[in-house]
Structure 1
């Protein structure tokens, strides 16, 4: 097949288009997982608000200051371990919106 024909050019660009689509899908997944981690962090925050930071097992004022970072890290780890499925739903909706935009154009 002659690479200068339209069909030949399309076949040459197909791997590039596939790689670009994979990059876009990876970015969507990353964004959806960040959203899920943010959601989980907000849901976990009230669980830790009532905990005492006083001795003998508390960390004092420093624990209160760093608790937000701890909750955020636990949310990210939960997503990394599989999450609650929210990221999957967000990615599916993003793909539907993208496909709807392509067919409308």
Structure 2
């Protein structure tokens, strides 16, 4: 995965930078699920790199195909409940937003 793709999941708006607690109500859930899917994609991709998938000829085309397969698995795993990463991350992000709205900076 390239840096642009990884960073796209972490982008925030100018309003969020100005006011850390000013995020859309569904933003933590959406961002957390997207992060979990990205994490699971990387995990599955790493596992698939150790598995012989048959005679696909090797090379860059096989590497790309393998990543697309891993990405499909990662997204589906996240949709099916994932590994609990999204739930914990969403709670942390919500707590941060609530603390920012209260003015807590610890």
Specify the TM-score bucket, using the shorter chain as the normaliser.
Answer: 0.5 to 0.7
Aligned pairs for 1:1-105 within 5 A: 24-53=24-53, 57-61=54-58, 62-104=61-103
The alpha-carbon deviation at position 26 of structure 1 amounts to 1.7
Which contiguous aligned blocks of 4+ residues in structure 1 show a shift greater than 4 angstroms? none
Extract unaligned runs of 5+ from structure 2: 1-22
The alpha-carbon deviation at position 44 of structure 1 amounts to 1.6
Aligned length: 80
| More divergent stretch after superposition (71-80 vs 59-68) | 59-68
User: More helix per residue: 1 or 2?
Assistant: 1
The alpha-carbon deviation at position 43 of structure 1 amounts to 1.5
**Root-mean-square deviation (Å):** 2.0
TM-score of the two chains, using structure 2 as the length reference: 0.65
Higher RCO, 1 or 2 (CA under 8 Å, sep at least 6)?
Answer: 2
Give the Cα separation in 1 of the matches to 2:90 and 2:68.
Answer: 26
Residue 12 of structure 2: aligned partner: none
Give the Cα separation in 1 of the matches to 2:69 and 2:88.
Answer: 26
CA 1:65–1:104 in structure 2 vs 1: closer, same or farther (change >3 Å)? closer
Larger radius of gyration: 1
